[in-house]
Structure 1
Amino acid sequence: MLTETEGRAAVELARKTIEKLLMGGRVPGPRDTGMDLPPVFGENRGVFVTLTENGMLRGCIGHPYPDSTLEQAIIDSAISAAARDPRFPPVVGEELDSIIVEVTILTQPEKINVPPEELPDKVEIGKHGLIVKQGYCQGLLLPQVAPEHGMDSIDFLGHTCMKAGLSPDAWVKGAEVYCFEGQIFKEKEPGGEVVEEKF
């Protein structure tokens, strides 16, 4: 778990990365932000960066698995959320003052090894995020998605399947389901105070 100070640094790193990208038009590297980061940023962690504008999703991309350092994962995810999310046009400079930055630090995903009919009982809404895999298809929804949209565990499983491009009942029909937890740090207003969100 990150401390509040580390969480604030994570969100600040994401925002500074996006600012550098929009100012210079080039991809910033780890040293470009000029931040003196705590040691945890050198550890490998999974992370997602979410951007919202006027309460609406504006970009959300990340690293589901701890395949790079927290610093590098935040930088890469921030750039991707701002410029590479295929659902949205790239963020432009004048939008930054109306965008809220959110960083979710993930635990290592673990497969839920139970018969399909027991899966809903193993998914804790507000605590677990989900990954569904089948063949080449994979979908992920963060822990905050279910409570924010009033989903129960069956809804959540179905929506994660659809995110993977599968039918909503793929979890009943043999798709693999993984759960993970997320620690969420989010700006209260654009560029403002950072708080840890709990559901």
Structure 2
Amino acid sequence: MPDFPRHDDVNTTNPPDLPLSADRRERLLRLARLAVSSAVADGVPEPPPRDDPELLRRRAAFVTLRSRGSGELRGCKGEATARRALVDSVISGAVGAATDDPRFRPASVDEVPGLRIEISALTEPRPILPDRIELGRHGLILARGGRPLGLLLPQVPAQHGMDVAGFLEALGRKARVPRARWADDPSLVLLGFEAEVWAEPDPTPGG
């Protein structure tokens, strides 16, 4: 997965987790689709645009690919912390979801039209106690020494019918640190975050 360089024009003048306008959300979806198409065709995504200060705010993002109609997961990649501009994070996540998710083979050119793109723009993660977790609002990260071991997005519990206990158990599996062992490792930190989530429309059957 290409790691776009950090740019000097990243906008850090205002909080990075302000809600995005509908136009900017739509633009990021278009850029993500272009990045996926370019990456699977020749492995060279277009350079991210630098013309919108709002998209240059430092913010982490994940991009999820699902099959249109069935909603079956086809790939998901992103960053847990805000290391670079939102537009860079989205494009890198889109390319990674299509070509570098180890759970799936890389997407083919023929598959791209049948993929639905979903973007999750994250707020900055902060420590959270299990009894403060709100399902549907909080995503979770299990970290050690500042390094994320596993991350689950806020939409995961609803997609899999999880309660809070199940959400924590799933995070432990993702991080490869079983929930029962967390209390024995003081270096582990549970972090919570929120996310703006939006996606391309999914055609309804017969539509």
State the Cα deviation string for residues 123-154 of structure 1 (Å, max 9, x = none): 00000000012467710000000111111111
Counterpart contact for 1:132–1:160, Cα < 8 Å: yes
Counterpart contact for 2:141–2:148, Cα < 8 Å: no
Aligned to 2:179, what secondary structure does the other structure show?
A: coil
Aligned to 2:104, what secondary structure does the other structure show?
A: coil
CA RMSD of aligned residues (A): 1.9
Aligned to 2:180, what secondary structure does the other structure show?
A: coil
* Alignment of 1:120 onto 2:130: yes
TM-score (norm 2): 0.80
Match of 2:16 in 1: none
Query: How many residues are treated as equivalent by the alignment?
Result: 180
* Alignment of 1:108 onto 2:121: no
State the Cα deviation string for residues 42-83 of structure 1 (Å, max 9, x = none): 111010000011311100010111101111111111111100
Counterpart contact for 1:82–1:90, Cα < 8 Å: yes
State the Cα deviation string for residues 6-31 of structure 1 (Å, max 9, x = none): 11111111111111222333243225
Whole-Å Cα distance in 1 between the matches of residues 183 and 193 of structure 2? Answer: 19
Counterpart contact for 1:42–1:71, Cα < 8 Å: yes
* Alignment of 1:143 onto 2:149: no
**Aligned AA for 1:39?**
P
The correspondence of residues 21-170 of structure 1 with structure 2, limited to 5 A, is 21-31=39-49, 38-53=52-67, 54-112=70-128, 119-134=129-144, 138-170=149-181
Aligned to 1:138, what secondary structure does the other structure show?
A: strand
Whole-Å Cα distance in 2 between the matches of residues 11 and 137 of structure 1? Answer: 26
Match of 2:15 in 1: none
* Alignment of 1:180 onto 2:196: no
Whole-Å Cα distance in 1 between the matches of residues 41 and 201 of structure 2? Answer: 24
Match of 1:8 in 2: 26
Unpaired segments ≥5 residues, structure 2: 1-18
Counterpart contact for 1:6–1:38, Cα < 8 Å: no
Unpaired segments ≥5 residues, structure 1: 113-118, 191-199
